[in-house]
Amino acid sequence: MKTMNLSDFSTCLEKAAKQKGSAGVIAQKALVLENYMIVDEAGMAVDPSSLDIVIKAASPAETPEVEADAASAEAIAKSVRKNLAQEVLTANLHVRAEVGKDWEKARVFGSLKNLKSRESAYKFGRWALGALGHQKSADWCKANGISLVRMKGHVEGINSQGGFTVPDEFENELITLREQFGVFRRNARVVAMSSDVKRIPKRASTVTAYFVGEASAITESQQAFDQVQLVAKKLGVVTTISSELNEDNVVNLGDDLAGEIAHAFALKEDDCGFNGDGTSTYGGIVGLDASMTDTTYQTADMAQTSYAAVTLANLTVGLRKLPAWASQRNNVKIYCSKNAYHGIFERLAMGAGGVTAAEMVNGIAQPRFYGYPVEFTQVIPVSEGDGAEFAYFGDLSLGCYFGDRRQQTVAFSDSALNAFEQDEIAVRGTQRFDIVCANVGSSTAAGALIKFVL
């Protein structure tokens, strides 16, 4: 039910008194109590029978003559309704309907799998339906401050109009999902890009301290800086959803659509960050594998050809290569596939003994090795053989920059991907981002990460 605070209630009755006298106050009060819940300053409901609001009606000279018949009473009620409607339109009473009433009543088939709340899923579903041309949803979006901004002039294959810009509210939800699904975005240093190109200064060397003799000049030294350049690359994903869309499944539509787009983006971001080789397959991005090739400082060779042959002594060689400045932070982790974790790290930990029955049965909520958290990423190849990489060790936030252009669009089509024949709707999402592995060492010094290879 809509609410009205005591101050607004009193103001409303005072205006009725000035215009219609005592009869107007009675009619106005009855009409308000029929449509609104009166609340105090703390937002708590007030019992109407306990209300003690004194309204000074107009003086007899100012009070219009009111005939005590049904026609006159109806005229007063009509005037009161008009007055109340005008008050609402001018926002003097602050009685806008709560959005929550819509999503609280909406049906949910099963449970939400991606978005955290029914409200977020309902709003995103309403926005998607509005973008698809569902007029009632478009009107709902307009009434609740959710914009349907069409991107024009973008030739992107499916929709000649370029699709619809995702509002900030939903973009933040998709970013949160991508951080949940993906490893690279969650752990790298994310840099917001206000344009398609951004340059970040990076310190290449620092000043040097020298001993100074008596009456001697101090040897001068200077800081040197490089630049890290992020250039946003466009990434697109196309998926399909059922064409049987209506208001009954708006919550599930929003949840499923957000999950499909965010999961696909996160998977590709991880693939580029770990495996990018600079080709068009990865949008020109050079990831960790291609950036770390030096066998002295950047990689640790286990000198084995299978997971089963790797020993603790082999792993120690790699762990000790990480420099102290990179290892004395809370963000140091081991990044590997589940295959590598169970085949190497867990196998060695279990083999060391001291495992309890509870640990065997319940497992460990956060996998660790030598105290370092382990993050699973299935984009790292699981093939075994001489020279095959299987893990990265270090601080991803120190080693890599993740440029986030934060400009996403979503477009819909009933003909792409055979959608027309299959009675489906194709959905295309686009985003712009870049990844630069800038502090991962060189042929002369180690960096923030070490690559483990067989």
Task: Classify residue 215: in a domain, yes or no.
Answer: no
Query: Looking at the predicted structure, is the pLDDT value of residue 318 above 60?
Result: yes
Residue with tokens 């499923």, as numbered in its chain: 256
More confident residue, 183 or 224: 183
Which residues lie across from 225 on neighbouring strands? Answer: 203
> Could you report the per-residue pLDDT of 366-418, keeping only the tens digit for each?
889 998 999 999 899 999 999 999 999 999 999 999 999 877 888 888 777 77
> Could you report the per-residue pLDDT of 154-171, keeping only the tens digit for each?
443 333 345 788 887 788
Query: Looking at the predicted structure, is the pLDDT value of residue 277 above 60?
Result: yes
Residue ending a domain, among 89, 107, 140, is 89
Of 449, 453, 445, whose CA–CA distance to 375 is shortest? Answer: 449
Task: Classify residue 189: in a domain, yes or no.
Answer: no
Q: By the 8 A CB rule, do 130 and 410 touch?
A: no
Query: Looking at the predicted structure, is the pLDDT value of residue 274 above 90?
Result: yes
More confident residue, 28 or 277: 277
Q: Which two structure tokens, joined as six digits, stand for 276? A: 């990018």
Q: What is the rounded average pLDDT of the residues 253-280?
A: 90
Of 398, 397, 399, 404, whose CA–CA distance to 434 is shortest? Answer: 404
pLDDT of residue 434: 94
Task: Classify residue 11: in a domain, yes or no.
Answer: yes
**Average pLDDT score, the chain:** 79
pTM, full prediction: 0.68
How many domains is the chain partitioned into structurally? 2
Residue ending a domain, among 46, 71, 89, is 89
What's at 53, amino acid-wise? I
Residue ending a domain, among 40, 65, 89, is 89
The residues near 304 (Cβ < 8 Å, ≥ 6 apart) are: 310, 311, 314, 454
Task: Classify residue 62: in a domain, yes or no.
Answer: yes
Residue 29: which domain range?
A: 2-89
> Could you report the per-residue pLDDT of 220-252, keeping only the tens digit for each?
766 555 778 889 898 888 877 777 666 667 888
Task: Classify residue 115: in a domain, yes or no.
Answer: no
d(CA 431, CA 409): 7
Q: Which two structure tokens, joined as six digits, stand for 426? A: 């194709």
